Amino acid sequence: MDFNAIKMFVSVVQAGSLSAAADKTKVPLPTLSRRIRELEHELNVQLLARSPRGIKLTEAGSRLYEHASRGVEALNEAQHAVMNDEIRLKGRLRLSMPPAFTPWWELLGAFQQRFPEISVSVFSTERRVDLVQDGIDVALRVGTIVHESMVARQMIKYRHKLVASPALLAQFSDPATPEDLHRYPCAIWAADPSIRGVWQLGEQAYEPQAVLVANDYALLRNRAVAGQVITELPPFMANEDIAAGRLKAVLPAYLMPEQTLNLLYPSHRHPSRLVRAYLDFCQEQLANYLIEGI
């Protein structure tokens, strides 16, 4: 049974005539009349008794209208509810991001202030989550994206900084080249503690003899501020301490590689208005919440 024909039948009954229904639904009168006749032929019953004064429901038409009108009304209510939710951007947004990505915390707060009816769930992990399997709408990722089933919207590029406390640097002369770092205790970030990390400093690759390996930049920052290690930090975790004199940039002429920050979502899933609003908001607000820290 053609549901569109059912909707047309209900509209004819509610309008009181074929011509009034055609005006209301913007469906041409010949088309409306033909679809009702096709519905009657499919059901093998007469639904409407036609006369010059209008239409009248037959017994079979009354039974069909009684049931069909409730279904059409419920569908219209559901459609309006969905459209209203979309217009007001109401719903749940499921996000993934690395731990301790502090600028994004403030950005999320600003996002929810602009869209107070969007509920946000954040899954904080270093693990590269499977967005579809884990039910994630958008993931914040650092690095090159090569996954063909994902769409990546590039947000910004930045470089990590090699830092140490002035107290630690005062114990030795400031390093002038990467080879000078062998005099210092170093700490590296690694997802796997068994990995021997390498710092790419300008054109030179230096493999530090690490006294500490961690997958938590907050821990590395804490130990650097305490004067125990030289380490690398994202700029938004280092700049405030550098400005306050708690940390000092080490070998600033030897730039570390660029890091690319992307927001990722599944390519086969049409992005909802919530996802598009989040992507656009992040790109718009980065100047306020991230670039200053980079």
- Half-sphere CA count of 271, side-chain side, radius 13 A: 19
pLDDT, residue 287, reads: 61
Query: What are the structure tokens assigned to 14, written together?
Result: 């509610």
pLDDT, residue 80, reads: 61
pLDDT, residue 240, reads: 92
pLDDT, residue 292, reads: 47
Q: What is the DSSP letter of 174?
A: P
| Type and span of the H or E element at 73 | helix 59-88
The sign of the torsion formed by the CA atoms of 276, 281, 282, 287 equals positive
Cα→Cα distances 113→12, 90, 118, 137, Å = 46, 13, 9, 20
Query: What are the structure tokens assigned to 98, written together?
Result: 């690395």
The whole model's pTM is what?
A: 0.61
Per-residue pLDDT of the chain (294 residues; tens, 9 = 90+): 677 888 888 888 888 888 888 888 888 888 888 988 898 888 899 988 877 677 888 888 888 888 888 877 777 766 666 555 555 778 899 999 888 788 788 889 999 998 999 999 999 887 777 787 788 899 988 877 666 567 888 888 889 999 999 999 999 888 999 999 999 999 999 877 777 789 999 999 999 989 999 988 999 999 999 999 999 999 989 999 999 999 999 999 999 999 888 898 887 656 788 888 999 898 888 766 554 445
**DSSP characters over 227-275:** TS-BEEE-HHHHHHHHHHTS-EESSTTSPPPEEEEEEEEETTSPPPHHH
pLDDT, residue 255, reads: 95
CA–CA gap between residue 129 and residue 39 (Å, rounded): 50
